[in-house]
Structure formats: structure tokens, C-alpha cells
Amino acid sequence: MAAPRRRRTAAPAPASDIARRRMERRQASGRRSDARWAEILAGAGRVFGRLGYGQSTLEDVANEVGIRRATLYYYVGTKEELLVGLLHEPIETMRTRLEEVADLPVSAPERLEAALREYVRTMAELPELFIFLSENVHQVMSGPEADHIRDNADRYGRTLAEVIRSGAKAGEFRTDIDPSVAVLGIIGMFNWIHRWYNPEGERSLAEFGDDFIKMALSSLEPAKKR
């Protein structure tokens, strides 16, 4: 989630009346509170998680929700739009929680630990994030809402790097590793939890997180502490 993402040019606005109404509905301020829209997003999350984003179709989502495909087209015109709608709030939640932790009046190691615990907690609460982490879905996202998702991911990386940078300046972390590189390594490790985590397995998501947090903190310890 920390690496900057390549931006894609938004597609031109559709011309048909159906597409126009769909765009108006997407842009309406109340869409995110619409019960049917929430139901569609939940169904898309289940389908993408079960089949994988690349293998899923809008028809799969319509069948999951129990609506006609024509009804689904009233809300979205492409699978990409569903993906963007599904990830918009979870990615923003992840970023805002980190920024709250980063402002705590405690040491950098304590802030880093708290930030990574929030990362794991958010993944547990919002499993649709696993869709973002399991595939290179950023490559198919375009438009202003997709740019917002990428901006949140970039801000997350910069904020976490600043926590590590402040710890290095205070002598709490080692100084021979670029904080931005450290973030790539740490977040890369956490992002791959989805490869090993099994909801029905012996280890919980929190247990994976605990071990990874220990590894992350120990890797940044100054030489005098190692």
C-alpha cells in the first residue's frame, strides 16, 4: 500500500441516456448511503474474494446480489467501477487511522508498533482490503475516485516513513536504512499476510501481526541495542 501508483487517464464520459443516469447516480452525494448500493458492494466483495478480481464478471455480481444485470448497470457500467467503490472507504480508513497514531505523544517505536497493529486490525475489520493486496488491481483503476485511492495509499507510505525518520533522528531507530525503503520492506511483509492467513487455520490474523511487528521493530533497532 505504500508504493506510489501509476496514474491512468480517465475514460471519456459515456454518451447514452442509461450511462448518463448511471454517472449522475454515481456522483450523487447520497449514493454511498444507498442500501442497494451497499448490498451491491458487499456482493462484489464476496465475488472478488471467492473468484478473484480478474476472473469475476458483472453477471457474477448480479447473481450474487440476486438482481438483474440491467439493474446492476443502473449503478455501475464496469467491473472497475465496482472495485473502486469497494475500496474507496477502506483505504481511506487505513490512512486516517495511521495519521491518528502517528500524532501520538509517544516514542517512534511505540508509534510504529501502534500503527502496524492498526493495520492488522483494519484488515480484520475490512476484509475487502485483501482484494487490494492480493492482486495488482491498481493497474486497472482509473478516474478521480481511483486517484483518491492511490493518493491515500501514497500518504500512508509517507506518514509511516516519517515515523521511522523521526525515530532515527531521536536515536530510537538505526540510521543506515532509508526510511522510505524501510517502509517498502515492512508494508510488503504485512501486505503478504493474505498469502498465509487462513480464517479457518490455527493462527489468527492478530498472531501473524504480532510476529511481523516484532520482526519490523527488531530490524530497525540501533546497533547498540542489537
Total residue count of the chain as it appears in this document: 226
Q: Which pLDDT does position 107 carry in this prediction? A: 97
pLDDT at 126 over 50: yes
Three-class secondary structure of residue 11 per DSSP: coil
Q: What is the mean pLDDT of residues 30-39?
A: 71
More confident residue, 127 or 41: 41
Assessment of whether the complete model's pTM goes beyond 0.85: no
Angle (CA) 137-141-146 rounded to 5° is 115
Sign of CA dihedral 6, 9, 14, 20: positive
pLDDT at 109 over 80: yes
Q: Which three cell numbers stand for residue 204?
A: 489468527
Tell me the average pLDDT of the chain. 82
Q: What is the mean pLDDT of residues 128-133?
A: 78
Look up residue 10 and give its DSSP letter: P
Report residue 1's pLDDT band, with 50, 70 and 90 as the boundaries.
low
pLDDT at 28 over 70: no
| Closest alpha carbon to 31 in 70, 89, 78, 79 | 89
Residue type, 165: R
